[in-house]
Structure 1
Amino acid sequence: MKAPAWQPGAALALLLGLLGGLAGLQFLPRLLLPAEQAGLLAAALGLGVWVRWSRPGRTPLLLVLGVLLGLLWAQQRACWRLADGLAPAHIGQPVWVEAEVDGLPQALAGYGGVGGWRLPLRLLERPDGVPEQVSVSWFPGAGREQAPRAGERWRLQLRLKPVHALQNPGLPDTELWLLERGVRAQGSVRAGERLAAASAWNLAAARERIRAAIQARVSEPRARAVLAGLAIGDQGGIAAGDWALLRDTGVVHLFAVSGLHITWFAWLAAAGVHGLWRRSAWLCTRWPAPAAARWLGLAAALGYALLAGWGVPAQRTVGLLAVLVLLQSSARIWPWALALSLAGAVVGLADPWALVTPGFWLSFAAVALLMQAAPAEDEAAAGWRRLPQLAWQGLRVQLLASAGLAPLTLIFFGQVSLVGLLTNLVAVPLVTSVLVPLALGGLLLAPLWQLGTWGVQALFAGLELAQRLPGAVWWAAQAPWFIEALALLGVALALLRLPRAVRALGLALLLPLLLWTPARPAPGRFALTVIDVGQGSAAWVQTAGHALLFDAGPRWGGDSDAGARVVLPLLRAAGVNHLDALVISHDDADHSGGGASVLASLPVAARWGSLPPQHALQPVQPCRAGLAWEWEGVRFEWLHPGGPGEAAARDNARSCVLRVQDAAGQALLLTADIEAAQERELLQRAAPLRATVLLLPHHGSKSSSSAEFLAAVQPQLAFAQAGFMNRHGHPAAPVRERLAVAGVPLLTSAECGAWQWLSSQPPGSQACWRLQRRRYWLTAAPAGALDDEPD
């Protein structure tokens, strides 16, 4: 029997199934077992034979076949990647390696403000059980007088630990980000010696030289960081506040050399080449203008991606564009959906993890929107008459891109810049036509960087004005996946060249996403979220109508803190747009470090705390024992400090202690950093300590959680907010033993991630975010492991 002719619909079904299978594995809590792999392989082979000789109607079978093939390939790639992991015997133990600094070192602030570097290393010689790609911190000290530079080869003594990152609802998964880049261990440099300088052709070393030149010539910090970001893709110097400004004004894509930026750059380069090429009859007779525009646009994208460091987002974007250029250059007419699906499948086969990252979908959508907006080749007028048409075309592309990418931005980042269209109309031509040429031109003529500095200052002054406009940013709670899927379908229907009724249906499908509001606790009940901030403290308590944040997490050095990076995104993803109370339990940086960021970004009705008069977060109301209030039938009561003497104590001893009790008697005890002496004071005053859930004092330090205190609290569950392999050894072994003797289960943020508890339900480990969102790459915390570097 002759096999039926291959149809575009069948090919599209196979490619979509392949994409679905590649992405589907990334949502599994574990990898497939050998028997499961064998079953899928047998099913794929059988289905392939059936499809080969089947009659018309095979399209659904091809979709299933694609899913099976995608699952099997993603499984194999994951096995290869995870096999290059850190063996347990090397965890926390010194190992000697020979390594090359395989990227730009990034400035890093350590304890006490000591400056260091984050080094991406490719290990050339290493013991068995040590992965090839690692990320380590370097701080000055004995045996560490000279910091390694990009491209250099070193002999280093490293102390490594498995990859482990904070896990919170509504936030990106950093462990996935590191897995995609092949980084399979993290750690610190203990000692080392340089073996060889970087070669003259080393790309990372060349980029570091460019960065050093910009830093030497440009004195203004913001301009220095922006010019380095635009020239070589180094965004490490851009301040956290500036990133927030760029996000709020909808122009962040112009300052991160991401897939979206590279795609836009390739499109502009192709448009410029096409316009100039058509003016030369000699060029057109040797190479048609459309072909020259496609290939030279791709070459421009490749060159820019290489200069920007050739990272994973750049690689997959250039790959996506290369496939599209090849298809467009073939002798056949490819439907745009089939061309995009084939390009996505090629990128997905090379990098299956890309299919569940925002960067891939933003790049993919940008390419689709540019294809949708591109005019026919015969639409262009000649000479100066083409300028109005080009202006309208650019405005049309900007309108379509802003409208099409807004739902994706809302889904991935929980916000849409309502002033983004206005700011992009100015920022896109200014950045792409002025700042980028000046940033690159400064490599040949350094005074151009001064012109670039003035341009950056003018742009940011305008962005700051736009940010202050009423309603500049619209934040939305994170909706369930099926509502997000409906919204994506709606965007596709609304933007495609379809009948008006179908487009109207697409717009209607966006409404559930825009109107979604998360459920709140019933009156008389409360919900607790213990936020994973590493070695620090932050807990969010919500009632039917109010929200309280107890501590705001640590400051990590420089302008980076948990308030901006973790607490605020989590609250916004949960639909919280204001706080009724912010509590800063005491002035230790691991509890108060994120407070300023929270206060700067969210309205706060009341501030409580135990802070010295000169503290930057003053004024606060003192949390005096005996003060109490109710919200929707939930009682909040301060238990500590108890008097003027305790309030005048220093640091941990004056920590605020808050008890929260619902209408049914279920209670929560938030203890901050009190120690054994304060526990005895609470017992002597006969404070109402009994609680269902206890957040362990001082992160589980051995100086707290005495047996008498635990007996008075009688918790059903204890939780320690402690960093993965933290340098303090929290929670301490004696505390673990006391809890075990008392029969109290213990959870930690290192093994649990964020933890959520609704007071109407029994507390348990099932509420750990690492279990709720279990993925095969997530690292478990080895009990009792210690480290002496910050997470």
Structure 2
Amino acid sequence: MAADRTLSPLFGPACAAALVAGALVCVLLPVLPPLWASVAATVVAALGWVLRWRGRAAAALLFGLAWTCCHGYWAMQTQLPAGSAAQDVLVRGQVIDLPKETPAHTRFEFRVDASDAMPTLRGKRLQVLWHAPRGGPTDAGLDQRRLLHAGADWQLSLRVRPPRSRINPGGFDGERQALLRGLAGNASVRDSNSTRQLRPAHGLPAWRERTSAAIARQIAHPSARFIQALALGDTRRLSDVDWAQLRALGLTHLIAISGFHVGLVAGFAALLCSALWRSWPGLARFWPRPQAAACAAAAAAAGYAVVAGSELPTVRTALMIAVLALARVARRPVTVA
């Protein structure tokens, strides 16, 4: 029995640290190892992690490295092949985020639902740039560009190319950003005459845009842009000066939706659920109050993460709250150790 105490638990601190370290090693690699080697290492490491032996932490380290490599290959396969030539295609799909409009162009994410010329684009997401026409603000193309709303279905004539960006040191890495956001490539609208709206704005993206516009109307003050960012993650109206001031104050991590916001929503949901159970004690006969409050917090966190655009900080926080709620429902002890 004394030898068993020297073994690292399956999900103990040693294995958890080794798993994270393995993933970090993969991130630092200049080139991904071959896919076949990554898959084989993942299987072997998973077996070594499950078995009870003294090398369990080392197996977790290898699993973190190999699994992250496999995930990197899967993420790269969703993108258009690097170095492929730009192609002009006619696509149909949906605007899935809030369009960012400037006098020179409109930028938005577009999910392709159908493309006769490039069937491989179906289901993939593109970063689309719609430039203002040369005719100026009175041109019909600019008016059509202003009809673009989140959640609307459009037919667009696009020039599609793989993700690319400048490689200046210290500059913005567009290829990295495309990989993080799951974008298959970049595109620009080529022929405004071939574009047309197939279906008006609908669904959750349209609701976000309408709610953001309602906040601007109800507050009717320049500070409404901060409320839009804090409530819905809509940072379209924040200027470069705003971001510079927020960086100087150390508030950039709070102005857009972060884990702190999701935690507040989950906490309020838990308090409301607890108050409801205290007001009607008979509810405890069907469901214990601590478990109900935990599930309410998890549901509120998940819902708010979806409403806020499902950014990485919000999804991460919602998942951790769900794990905590699952532990409460399973009556498992929860500690900070």
TM-score range, shorter chain: 0.7 to 0.9
Partner of 2:31: 30
- In structure 2, relative to structure 1, the CA distance for the partners of 1:268 and 1:252 (3 Å cut) is farther
Q: Is the 8 A contact 1:85 1:129 kept in 2?
A: no
Partner residue in 1 for 2:128: 136
- What is the identity percentage for the equivalent residue pairs of Structure 1 and Structure 2? 31
Give runs of aligned pairs for residues 163-562 of structure 1, distance below 5 A.
Answer: 163-165=163-165, 173-191=173-191, 192-199=195-202, 202-221=203-222, 223-271=223-271, 273-274=273-274, 277-278=277-278, 281-337=281-337
Q: Is the 8 A contact 1:84 1:129 kept in 2?
A: no
1:171 Cα deviation after fit: 7.0
Deviation digits for residues 655-689 of structure 1 (CA, Å, limit 9, x no counterpart): xxxxxxxxxxxxxxxxxxxxxxxxxxxxxxxxxxx
Residues 1:16 and 1:104: Cα distance change in structure 2 (over 3 Å): same
Residue number in structure 1 paired with 2:51: 52
- 2:107 paired residue among 104, 114, 118: 118
Kept in 1: contact 2:100–2:106 (CA 8 A): yes
Q: Which has the larger radius of gyration?
A: 1
**1:11 alignment partner in structure 2:** 11
1:340-367: CA deviation from partner (whole Å, max 9, x where unpaired): xxxxxxxxxxxxxxxxxxxxxxxxxxxx
| Residues 1:285 and 1:53: Cα distance change in structure 2 (over 3 Å) | closer
Return 5+ residue gaps in structure 1 as ranges.
111-115, 338-791
Q: 8 Å contact 1:181–1:312 — kept in the other structure?
A: no
Q: Which residue of 2 aligns with 1:487?
A: none
CA distance 1:166–1:90, change in 2 (3 Å) = closer
Residue aligning to 2:136: none
User: Within 1, Cα distance between the matches of 2:332 and 2:214?
Assistant: 48
Summarize deviations over 1:484-534 as a string: whole Å, max 9, x none.
xxxxxxxxxxxxxxxxxxxxxxxxxxxxxxxxxxxxxxxxxxxxxxxxxxx
Q: Does structure 2 retain, via aligned residues, the 8 Å contact 1:85–1:130?
A: no
Amino acid at match of 1:314: T
Structure 1 residue ranges, 4+ long, deviating more than 6 angstroms after superposition: 4-8
Distance 1:8 1:307, change over 3 A: same
Distance 2:112 2:306 in 1: 22
Please state whether the residue corresponding to 1:119 is helix, strand or coil: strand
Question: Structure 2 CA distance, aligned partners of 1:34 and 1:254?
Answer: 39
Alpha-carbon distance between aligned partners in 1 of 2:140 and 2:83, rounded to the nearest angstrom: 24
What per-residue deviation string (whole Å, max 9, x for no partner) do you get for residues 741-762 of structure 1?
xxxxxxxxxxxxxxxxxxxxxx
- Count of equivalent residues: 320
Which residue in 2 is equivalent to 1:97? 91
- How far 1:37 moved relative to its partner? 2.6
- Which residue number in structure 1 is paired with residue 144 of structure 2? 146
1-side partners of 2:326 and 2:172: how far apart?
A: 33
In structure 2, how many angstroms separate the alpha carbons of the residues matched to 1:168 and 1:276?
57
Alpha-carbon contact 1:90-1:160 (below 8 Å) kept: no
Q: Determine if contact 1:17/1:62 at 8 Å carries over to the other structure.
A: no
Letter in 2 for 1:123: V
Q: CA deviation at 1:234?
A: 0.7
SS for the counterpart of 1:29 is coil
In 1, Cα distance between the equivalents of 2:178 and 2:83?
A: 22
Equivalent residue number for residue 662 of structure 1: none
1:518-667 matches, within 5 Å, as none
- Distance in 1, matches of 2:226 and 2:46, equals 53
Task: Name the CA distance, whole Å, in 1 between partners of 2:219 and 2:201.
Answer: 25
Measured in 1, the distance between the counterparts of 2:89 and 2:131 equals 17
In 2, are the aligned partners of 1:87 and 1:129 still within 8 Å (CA)?
no
1:121 positional shift: 0.4
- C-alpha change, 1:66 and 1:23, in structure 2 (3 Å) is same
Q: How far has the Cα of 1:42 moved from its partner?
A: 6.8
- The alpha-carbon distance between structure 1 residues 8 and 320, as it changes in their structure 2 partners (threshold 3 A), is farther
Moved more, 125-134 or 146-155: 125-134
Residue identity matched to 2:144: Q
How many Å apart are 1:320 and its aligned residue?
Answer: 2.2
Residue 155 of structure 1, CA deviation: 1.6
Corresponding position of 1:84: 78
What SS does structure 2 have at the residue aligned with 1:15? helix
TM-score, normalising length from structure 2? 0.80
Deviation at 1:150, TM superposition (A): 1.4
Q: CA 1:10/1:109 → structure 2, altered by over 3 Å: closer, same or farther?
A: same
Deviation at 1:259, TM superposition (A): 2.4
Residues in 2 aligned to 1:303 and 1:108: alpha-carbon distance in whole angstroms: 31
- Deviation of 1:172 after TM superposition, in Å, equals 7.2
In structure 2, the CA distance between the partners of 1:18 and 1:125, relative to structure 1 (3 Å rule), is same
Displacement of 1:67 after TM fit? 1.9
How far 1:289 sits from its partner (Å)?
A: 3.3
Q: In the alignment, is the contact (CA less than 8 A) between 1:90 and 1:130 conserved in 2?
A: no
Letter in 2 for 1:146: Q
CA spacing shift, 1:17–1:161, aligned 2, 3 Å: same
Residues 410-442 of structure 1: per-residue CA shift (max 9 Å, x gap) = xxxxxxxxxxxxxxxxxxxxxxxxxxxxxxxxx
Q: Hey, what's the Cα distance between the residues in 2 that align with 1:152 and 1:197?
A: 5
- Residue type of the partner of 1:282? G
Task: Specify the SS of the correspondent of 2:128.
Answer: strand
1:39, 1:231 → 2: CA distance? Answer: 45
Give yes or no for contact 2:8–2:56 (8 Å, CA) kept in 1.
Answer: no
State the alpha-carbon separation in 1 of the partners of residues 219 and 334 from structure 2: 48
Secondary structure, counterpart of 2:237 in structure 1: coil
1:68 to 42, 62, 65: 62
Higher relative contact order (CA 8 A, sep 6+): 2
**How far 1:128 sits from its partner (Å)?**
4.7
Deviation of 1:5 after TM superposition, in Å, equals: 9.7
- Looking at structure 2, the residues matched to 67 and 173 of structure 1 have their Cα atoms a distance apart, in angstroms, of 29
CA distances 1:237-273 after superposition (whole Å, capped 9, x unpaired): 1222223333333444442112232123323443454
CA contact (8 A) 1:107 1:118 kept: yes
Alignment of 1:712-791 (within 5 A): none
Show CA shifts across 1:69-118 (max 9, x none): 222222222212211222468633322211211111112342xxxxx311
Aligned counterparts of 2:169 and 2:83: Cα–Cα separation in 1: 32
- Structure 1 residues 185, 246: CA separation in 2 closer, same or farther (over 3 Å shift)? same
State how far apart, in whole Å, the 1-side matches of 2:199 and 2:268 are. Answer: 41
